[in-house]
C-alpha cells in the first residue's frame, strides 16, 4: 500500500511537471501577431538607416527561442553589427529549428567568413550540398576556398559542375579556366579563356591566362 501511494505521488508530480512545461511552451509562443509584425517592421526601418543595435533591440523585445524567423533575422542583424559570436548563436538556433533550411546555413557562413574560419565555412557549404547538390552559389564559393588553399582538383570539380549547369556563366568559366591552367590542362584552359572572352570581350584576366599559355 505504501509503495502504491509513492507511485501515485510520483505520477502526480510528473503530471504537474508536464502541465507546467506545456504552460511555459505556450507562454514562449504567446506574442501577439501584431506585436511580432511591428517588431519586424521596425527592424527593417532601423536596418535601412544603418541603426543595427535598434533593429536588434526591436526583435529582442518579442524574442521567441522557438521562432525560426526571429532567430534568422537576429543572426543577420548581429552580423551587420559585427557581433559575430552572437550572430552565429542565433543562426545555430535557426538551423536547429529548421535543419533543411539552406538560408540559415548560408547566413551562418557570413560571420564565419568575417572571422576567417574557412574550414567551418567549407564544412557548412558541404552540408548544404548534401541537401541541394546543384546549389551554384555554394559550389562557386566552395570552389574558391579550394582554389586558394590550394586544392585545385576539388576546386575543378566545383567549377566544372557549375559550367555544366550554366555553360555561358562568366565567373565559373573564368575560375574553371584558371583551375585547369593550375592543373596543367593547357588546352582546356585555352578553350575556357576564349569562351570567357565571348562573354566579356577584352577581359583582362582571360587575356592574362591566354598570354601565360603561349
- Tally of domains in the chain: 1
User: The whole model's pTM is what?
Assistant: 0.84
Q: Is residue 186 part of a domain?
A: yes
Q: Kindly give, in sequence order, each residue whose CB lies less than 8 Å from that of residue 180, ignoring residues fewer than 6 positions away.
A: 156, 186, 188, 189, 192
**CB-CB contact of 195 with 183 (8 Å):** no
pLDDT digits (tens, 9 = 90+) for 20-51: 444 333 445 578 999 999 999 999 999 999 99
Rounded Cα distance between 57 and 192, Å, is 50
The position carrying cell 534568422 is 72
Helices (H) and strands (E) in the chain, counts: 12, 0
Q: Is residue 51 part of a domain?
A: no
Mean pLDDT for 67-80 is 98
Q: Is residue 76 part of a domain?
A: no
Q: Is residue 212 part of a domain?
A: yes
Q: Is residue 209 part of a domain?
A: yes
pLDDT at 10 over 90: no
**pLDDT in the model for residue 29:** 56
Query: Residue 203's domain spans which residues?
Result: 154-214
Residue 98: DSSP 8-state = S
> Which conformational region is residue 174 in: left (phi greater than 0), alpha (psi within -120 to 50 degrees), or beta?
alpha
**% residues pLDDT > 70 (the chain):** 86
Q: Is residue 171 part of a domain?
A: yes
Q: Kindly give, in sequence order, each residue whose CB lies less than 8 Å from that of residue 30, ignoring residues fewer than 6 positions away.
A: none
Give the CATH number for residue 199.
1.25.40.10
Following DSSP, what letter does each residue of 156-173 receive, concatenated? HHHHHHHHHH-TT-HHHH
Nearest to 90 by CA among 70, 100, 79, 75: 75
**CB-CB contact of 140 with 158 (8 Å):** yes
Nearest to 165 by CA among 176, 153, 154: 176
Q: 79: cis peptide before it, omega within 30°?
A: no
Q: Is residue 99 part of a domain?
A: no
Q: Is residue 159 part of a domain?
A: yes
**pLDDT in the model for residue 18:** 38
Amino acid at each position: 500500500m505504501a509503495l502504491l501511494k509513492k507511485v501515485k505521488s510520483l505520477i502526480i508530480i510528473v503530471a504537474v511537471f508536464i502541465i507546467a512545461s506545456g504552460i511555459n511552451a505556450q507562454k514562449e509562443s504567446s506574442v501577439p501577431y501584431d506585436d511580432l509584425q511591428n517588431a519586424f517592421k521596425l527592424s527593417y526601418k532601423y536596418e535601412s538607416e544603418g541603426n543595427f543595435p535598434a533593429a536588434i533591440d526591436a526583435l529582442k523585445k518579442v524574442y521567441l527561442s522557438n521562432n525560426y524567423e526571429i532567430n534568422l533575422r537576429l543572426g543577420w542583424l548581429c552580423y551587420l553589427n559585427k557581433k559575430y559570436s552572437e550572430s552565429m548563436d542565433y543562426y545555430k538556433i535557426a538551423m536547429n529549428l529548421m535543419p533543411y533550411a539552406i538560408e540559415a546555413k548560408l547566413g551562418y557562413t557570413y560571420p564565419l567568413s568575417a572571422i576567417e574560419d574557412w574550414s567551418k565555412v567549407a564544412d557548412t557549404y558541404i552540408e548544404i550540398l548534401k541537401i541541394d547538390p546543384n546549389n551554384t552559389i555554394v559550389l562557386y564559393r566552395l570552389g574558391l576556398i579550394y582554389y586558394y588553399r590550394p586544392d585545385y582538383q576539388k576546386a575543378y570539380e566545383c567549377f566544372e559542375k557549375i559550367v555544366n549547369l550554366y555553360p555561358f556563366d562568366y565567373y565559373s568559366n573564368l575560375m574553371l579556366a584558371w583551375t585547369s591552367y593550375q592543373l596543367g590542362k593547357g588546352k582546356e584552359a585555352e578553350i575556357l579563356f576564349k569562351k570567357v572572352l565571348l562573354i566579356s570581350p577584352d577581359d583582362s584576366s582571360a587575356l592574362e591566362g591566354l598570354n601565360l599559355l603561349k
